[in-house]
Amino acid sequence: MANDGKIYITISDKRFGQNQPDVIPTPETSKEKEKSDPLGDYITHRFFNLIESQAKQAVKFTLGNIGNFTGDYIAQEHVNNALEAVSFIENVGIAALAGAKFGPVGALVGAGIAVAGTASSKAINLFTGYLDNIRQNKAIEQLRTRAGLNSNNNDSRGTEY
């Protein structure tokens, strides 16, 4: 084949060098096939994911309803703040680990991006709450005016001096 003057091109996902024969993969033995059960592995994986998600949901429900269960809404606020802080630290840590793939500078950049993202979302939430408060106050003022209860405007239902 090599001395007939023709060029042969072999396309393969394996690297072949000079004087290396083509290696034909051997079929799996029956013991290896019995060990590898993709459906069983998938079902086991899904079952453990179900158990994990249900446990997380139960913990979140319990922690989210401490104020409703005990009547201590201040403790509920403290728990919510602690959960928020843990979530923030977790997000920064994951971002730093992802950035660490590119070295210490990448870890700092990843952590910085996570902090900036959290800061921007908090600022947006604060601004949205501020706008909602302004809208509610305007709606209340309009209702008072329509009902004649806005004594600052025309003193229609207020006391006369």
Q: Domain ranges for the chain, please list them.
A: 72-147
Output Rg (C-alpha) for the chain, integer angstroms.
Answer: 33
Is pLDDT at 123 greater than 90 in this prediction? yes
Better-predicted residue by pLDDT, 148 or 31: 148
Alpha-carbon torsion angle 45, 50, 51, 57, nearest 10: 140
String of DSSP letters for 90-130: HHHHHHHHHHGGG-HHHHHHHHHHHHHHHHHHHHHHHHHHH
What pLDDT is stored for residue 155 in this prediction?
A: 53
* pLDDT digits 0-9 by tens, 8-39: 777 776 665 555 555 555 655 555 555 668 88
User: What pTM does this model have?
Assistant: 0.53
Q: Tell me what the mean pLDDT of segment 91-115 comes to.
A: 94
Is pLDDT at 87 greater than 60 in this prediction? yes
Residue of 120, 107, 115, 125 whose CA lies nearest to 91: 115
% of the chain exceeding 90 in pLDDT: 52
What pLDDT is stored for residue 138 in this prediction?
A: 95
Q: Tell me what the mean pLDDT of segment 86-98 comes to.
A: 94
What pLDDT is stored for residue 28 in this prediction?
A: 58
What pLDDT is stored for residue 15 in this prediction?
A: 61
Residue of 86, 85, 82, 92 whose CA lies nearest to 117: 92
CA distance 154 to 6: 104
